[in-house]
């Protein structure tokens, strides 16, 4: 069994630590300050409560899971016995390169060095190391303890053993890993997600429909099918002849803009960043924010239960 260390205790770091502990792994979580780590543990406790409230974890198991997470404030303590390290620090290339160079120098060659980055090239992250073959991306999706997808992304020098061990660990953590065989900006999930967002922005700016109706069109049509059939399964079930005909007349009219829509830029310039500032495309009151976060969490939990046969 791999011995896991998490470098970073923020939004993703503590949630990944919870995922591993929930799956039975002992985890060492590194943070730069005790206060930061205490906040991470409080967040884990809150999430554990939600899991027990929704019958995903027995009350008597809570302390067992909690006890599997050890917090430390030095890198050396974090990696002391680790065989698999997952970095989850802010998305700054120079910071990640510095950490991976340090880990590469400190760790035995058998230790896998993984990054949770959602965008940065694994080749670039490993460029300062002497052993880039053991560097890989394991991109968890937020919230990491409830979303099953993990994208395992090869760098140009990542070897097969690194990928195989990463895929195996993610599977043992009850995730649904996919192998991204060749690095590309956005990997797989974000390329698909932002292709949809680009077209949604285009539809809004062309005055074809309101933002509310665009969201509704996704929620009540493809959103209902996507949990069962992805784009290729959907095409097969709809008929490739039909999908080819639609593609041939529709693709030329779809957005191919190379930058974010002006409507989003205007909101950004005004300091309206969405739920974090109280306004974006929508007005985010405290009540609306709580409602949407709770609604999303309940739906994700429903799918976790389905995945686990509960």
Percentage of the chain surpassing pLDDT 70? 100
What is the DSSP annotation of 101-163? HHHHHHS-TT-EEEE--SSS-HHHHGGG-S-GGGEEEEEEPSSTTT--EEEEE--TT--HHHH
At residue 267's C-alpha, the angle toward residues 263 and 269, to 5°, is: 115
Beta bridge partners of 71: 29
pLDDT, tens digit, 9 for 90 and up, residues 30-66 = 999 999 999 999 999 999 999 999 999 999 999 999 9
pLDDT over 90 at 24, yes or no: yes
pLDDT, tens digit, 9 for 90 and up, residues 191-245 = 999 999 999 999 999 999 999 999 999 999 999 999 999 999 999 999 999 999 9
Please name which of 68, 84, 87 lies closest in space to residue 7, comparing C-alpha atoms: 87
pLDDT over 90 at 78, yes or no: yes
pLDDT, tens digit, 9 for 90 and up, residues 96-115 = 999 999 999 999 999 999 99
Taking the C-alpha atoms of residue 289 and residue 287, their distance in angstroms, rounded to an integer, is 5
Taking the C-alpha atoms of residue 305 and residue 124, their distance in angstroms, rounded to an integer, is 38
Separation of first and last alpha carbons in the chain: 26
Number of alpha carbons in the 13 Å side-chain half-sphere of residue 130 = 8
Please name which of 201, 208, 211, 139 lies closest in space to residue 175, comparing C-alpha atoms: 139
pLDDT in the model for residue 310: 86
Please name which of 76, 105, 100 lies closest in space to residue 89, comparing C-alpha atoms: 100
Place of tokens 């967040």: 43
Are the C-beta atoms of residues 6 and 17 closer than 8 Å to each other?
yes
Are the C-beta atoms of residues 243 and 186 closer than 8 Å to each other?
no
What number is the average pLDDT over the span 155-175? 98
Please give the structure tokens belonging to residue 36: 């930061």
Q: Answer yes or no: pTM beyond 0.85.
A: yes
ω into 143 cis (within 30 of 0)? yes
pLDDT over 90 at 246, yes or no: yes
Please give the structure tokens belonging to residue 203: 């539809």
Beta bridge partners of 87: 7, 115
> What is the SS3 string spanning 44-111?
HHHHHHHHHHCCCCCHHHHHHHHHCEEEECCHHHHHCCCCEEEECCCCCHHHHHHHHHHHHHHCCCCC
What number is the average pLDDT over the span 145-167? 98
User: Any idea of the CA torsion for 175, 167, 118, 261, to the nearest 10 degrees?
Assistant: -70
């Amino acid at each position: 069994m791999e011995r896991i260390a998490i470098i970073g205790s923020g939004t993703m770091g503590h949630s990944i630590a919870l995922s591993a502990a929930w799956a039975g792994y002992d985890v060492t979580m590194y943070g730069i300050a005790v206060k930061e780590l205490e906040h991470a543990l409080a967040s884990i406790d809150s999430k554990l409560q939600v899991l027990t409230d929704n019958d995903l974890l027995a009350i008597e198991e809570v302390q067992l899971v909690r006890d599997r997470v050890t917090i430390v404030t030095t890198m050396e303590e974090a990696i002391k016995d680790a065989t698999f390290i997952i970095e989850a620090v802010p998305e700054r290339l120079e910071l990640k390169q510095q950490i991976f160079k340090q880990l590469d120098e400190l760790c035995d060659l058998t230790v896998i060095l993984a990054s949770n980055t959602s965008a940065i090239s694994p080749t670039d992250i490993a460029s300062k190391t002497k052993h880039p073959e053991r560097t890989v991306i394991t991109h968890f999706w937020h919230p990491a303890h409830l979303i099953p997808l993990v994208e395992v992304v090869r760098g140009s020098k990542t070897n097969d053993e690194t990928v195989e061990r990463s895929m195996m660990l993610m599977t043992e953590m009850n995730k649904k890993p996919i192998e991204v065989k060749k690095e590309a900006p956005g990997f797989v999930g974000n390329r698909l997600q932002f292709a949809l967002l680009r077209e949604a922005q285009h539809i809004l700016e062309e005055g074809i429909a309101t933002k509310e109706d665009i969201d509704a069109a996704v929620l009540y049509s493809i959103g209902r099918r996507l949990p069962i059939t992805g784009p290729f399964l959907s095409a097969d079930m709809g008929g490739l002849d039909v999908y080819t005909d639609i593609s041939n007349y529709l693709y030329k009219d779809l957005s191919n803009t190379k930058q974010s829509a002006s409507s989003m830029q205007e909101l950004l310039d005004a300091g309206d960043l969405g739920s974090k500032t109280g306004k974006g495309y929508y007005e985010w009151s405290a009540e609306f924010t709580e409602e949407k976060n709770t609604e999303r969490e309940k739906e994700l939990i429903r799918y976790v239960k389905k995945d686990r046969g509960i």
